[in-house]
């Protein structure tokens, strides 16, 4: 049974499509005959990615690169107008673009603003600029917002990134609640939570997944109607993820200190919990 939203001649919009998981998603959807709009910052990487992705499409002009800074609402709105002028409303929107700028508590405020502007506002702008027309079209459609396990378990290190991904989780949950309570709406929101995935020019290490594996898992999750599309990887099993998420929630319900998983006083207890 063909999927109603992931189908030939339907339109897909993917942000951060010049690299990694976004590019792999663009290539897969192009190979399925979708009209794919690849949004990313202007420049050679976007142009090169479009060429590469077009190689997967039967009709190369169905793969369109649209330079767009997702943190800029006016740019995103203009981009949505361009898409809607030539296509029916997208049946697939993936808010995937990310910056790793951010860092720890005392990193410069500018880095924190950048993290929030791209990783959170990029998602909010994508939803506000594209989703109303997707609802109005009345057809089955998906919004996939890309989160992270770091937005759930909050490991020490890049706290700014964790904060933005926690916000994307909360935002996406609220979005899906809103969509399912909108009369006649056939658009559903989903939170894709990749595991460790080799992207960009990073060396592929054993234990990491490749972007294509994330795409496989995402498409299976959409098919199953899952909201939380939680990816394992070669190192972390679904059971390990389950334990880590439960332990993090337990910091509150068991009145432990925050991030107790990384507190030496709780090392033995944690190791007993997730052997």
Ligand X SMILES: NC(=O)c1ccc[n+]([C@@H]2O[C@H](COP(=O)([O-])OP(=O)(O)OC[C@H]3O[C@@H](n4cnc5c(N)ncnc54)[C@H](O)[C@@H]3O)[C@@H](O)[C@H]2O)c1
- What are the residue numbers of the active site? 161
Cα separation, 70 vs 162, in Å, equals: 19
Query: By CB under 6 A, is residue 197 in contact with ligand X?
Result: yes
CB nearer to ligand X: pick between 194 and 248:
194
CB nearer to ligand X: pick between 42 and 104:
42
Residue 116 DSSP one-character state = I
CB nearer to ligand X: pick between 70 and 124:
70
Cα separation, 149 vs 165, in Å, equals: 8
Q: Which stretch binds ligand X (CB under 6 A): 15-23, 25-33, 53-61, 85-93?
A: 15-23
* Rounded least distance, CB 121 to ligand X, Å: 9
Cα separation, 50 vs 22, in Å, equals: 12
* Rounded least distance, CB 34 to ligand X, Å: 19
**Residues near ligand X (CB under 6 A), total:** 24
Closest residue by Cα to residue 21 from 216, 228, 272: 216
39 with 16: CB under 8 angstroms? yes
Q: Given the DSSP bridges, would you call strands 63-67 and 92-95 parallel, antiparallel or unpaired?
A: unpaired
Closest residue by Cα to residue 16 from 151, 152, 126: 126
* Rounded least distance, CB 103 to ligand X, Å: 15
Q: Which helix (H) or strand (E) holds 63?
A: strand 63-67
Query: By CB under 6 A, is residue 99 in contact with ligand X?
Result: yes
Contacting residue, 199, 221, 256, 270, with ligand X by CB under 6 A: 199
Contacting residue, 32, 65, 69, 131, with ligand X by CB under 6 A: 69
Residues that bind ligand X (CB under 6 A): 15-16, 18-22, 40-41, 69-71, 96-99, 118, 146, 148, 194, 196-197, 199-200
């Amino acid at each position: 049974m063909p999927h109603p939203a992931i189908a030939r001649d339907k339109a897909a919009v993917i942000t951060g499509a010049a690299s990694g998981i976004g590019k792999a998603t663009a290539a897969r959807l192009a190979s399925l005959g979708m009209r794919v709009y690849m949004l990313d910052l202007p420049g050679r990487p976007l142009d090169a990615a479009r060429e590469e992705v077009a190689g997967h499409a039967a009709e190369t002009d169905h793969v369109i690169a649209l330079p767009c800074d997702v943190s800029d609402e006016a740019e995103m709105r203009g981009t949505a107008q361009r898409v809607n002028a030539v296509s029916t409303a997208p049946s697939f929107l993936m808010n995937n673009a990310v910056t790793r700028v951010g860092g720890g508590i005392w990193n410069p405020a500018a880095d924190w603003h950048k993290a929030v502007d791209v990783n959170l506002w990029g998602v909010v702008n994508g939803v506000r600029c594209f989703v109303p027309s997707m609802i109005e079209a009345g057809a089955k459609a998906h919004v996939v917002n890309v989160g992270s396990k770091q937005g759930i378990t909050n490991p020490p290190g890049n706290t700014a990134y964790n904060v933005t991904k926690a916000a994307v989780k909360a935002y996406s949950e609220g979005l899906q609640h809103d969509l399912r309570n909108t009369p006649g709406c056939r658009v559903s929101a989903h939170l894709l939570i990749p595991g460790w995935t080799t992207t960009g020019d990073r060396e592929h290490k054993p234990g990491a997944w490749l972007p294509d594996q994330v795409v496989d898992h995402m498409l299976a999750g959409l098919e199953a109607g899952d909201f939380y599309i939680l990816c394992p990887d070669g190192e972390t099993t679904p059971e390990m993820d389950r334990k880590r998420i439960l332990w993090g929630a337990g910091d509150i319900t068991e009145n432990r200190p925050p991030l107790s998983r990384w507190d030496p006083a709780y090392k033995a207890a944690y190791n007993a919990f997730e052997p």
